Structure 1
């Protein structure tokens, strides 16, 4: 791959990020997280299949390190007992590029059977999908073309999911007043632990 080809991939991914649709759903999503997790003492449960599931895991761990209790629930394992992780006042973040992933659609039904009032935040490319229509807050990726030469491998789409997750984390941190001292309490090891302690004492 040439330098120009690398730059073109970077350009396409950057352009896709800048074209993510932005509306009040972001504010609503972070408000829901603050309400359910920080006021009502529930937790954020993230879920997705395949590559989207890996993004959902990353989002959960980032939320945990920034003061919002979160956990990843595998949608298939949910059907074999792991659904029991859900408790009153939890809120679920579901990720599916197509908005049609069978296991995620089934998870909605299972979660509602256990807790009829549970609410969902959704990250998807498809505003007309079943998943989008079930969402209390739907965050759209903009459905950019994948940079994969086949146009199939989740590449640009997973970048969009990650960026949207980052926005939710940063907005929630702001709304709960999360500080460097708070970060240091949750991140004792390594460079970030040292840096957060230095910032909190500075």
Structure 2
């Protein structure tokens, strides 16, 4: 493996991240999550299929650890009873690069059947898709070409999805004034738990 090729791949991924369109939809998504989770006391439900589903699962755990209660709902399992996790005042965050993922589109219909007024935050590489049309807030990844040698495997697209999730998490943390003390209460074990507790002590003594 040539260093030049590795550098080229890294640059392609970095360029995709830097090219994510910064629009008002980010603010709209944050407002929705804040309104439904922190004011109306619902929760954030993330979902996606395949690689996007793994990212949605990671987002749920990251949101939860930073003060925004969130759970992951597998779109296929939703059709076999797990849809019951949706309650009043919940908001959904759905991820699909194509915006055409059958299971996610079906999940939209099922969720509306149970909670007709449920809002959707969508992260997609296709802003003209059916999923984008169903969104209350739609964040466009920029639809970068995959760095995969075949141009097929989710690589660059999943990088942009992950970064968008990170941005939403950080914006929500700032919106709710999340502190080291708050973090320590949710993260008791390991290096991060110890680090947050020490930082919380420093904050308290300022």
Cα distance in 1 between the residues matched to 2:31 and 2:119: 12
Q: Name the counterpart of 1:58.
A: 58
Q: Deviations over 1:78-105 (max 9, x none)?
A: 0000000000000000000000000000
Task: Tell me how far 1:68 sits from its aligned partner.
Answer: 0.5
Cα distance in 2 between the residues matched to 1:34 and 1:113: 24
Task: Tell me how far 1:155 sits from its aligned partner.
Answer: 0.3
Q: Name the counterpart of 2:35.
A: 35
Q: Name the counterpart of 1:174.
A: 174
Q: Name the counterpart of 2:20.
A: 20
Task: Tell me how far 1:188 sits from its aligned partner.
Answer: 0.5
Q: Name the counterpart of 1:100.
A: 100
Matches within 5 A, 1:73-152: 73-152=73-152
Runs of at least 5 residues in structure 2 that lack an aligned partner in the other structure: none
Runs of at least 5 residues in structure 1 that lack an aligned partner in the other structure: none
Number of residue pairs matched by the alignment: 202
Task: Tell me how far 1:3 sits from its aligned partner.
Answer: 1.1
Q: Name the counterpart of 2:200.
A: 200
Q: Structure 2 length normalisation: TM-score? A: 0.97
Q: Deviations over 1:119-141 (max 9, x none)?
A: 00000000100000110100001
Question: Aligned-residue CA RMSD in angstroms?
Answer: 0.4
Q: Deviations over 1:22-59 (max 9, x none)?
A: 11100110111010000000000000000000000000
Cα distance in 2 between the residues matched to 1:4 and 1:65: 38
Q: Structure 1 length normalisation: TM-score? A: 0.99
Task: Tell me how far 1:118 sits from its aligned partner.
Answer: 0.2
Q: Name the counterpart of 2:153.
A: 153
Cα distance in 2 between the residues matched to 1:21 and 1:92: 22
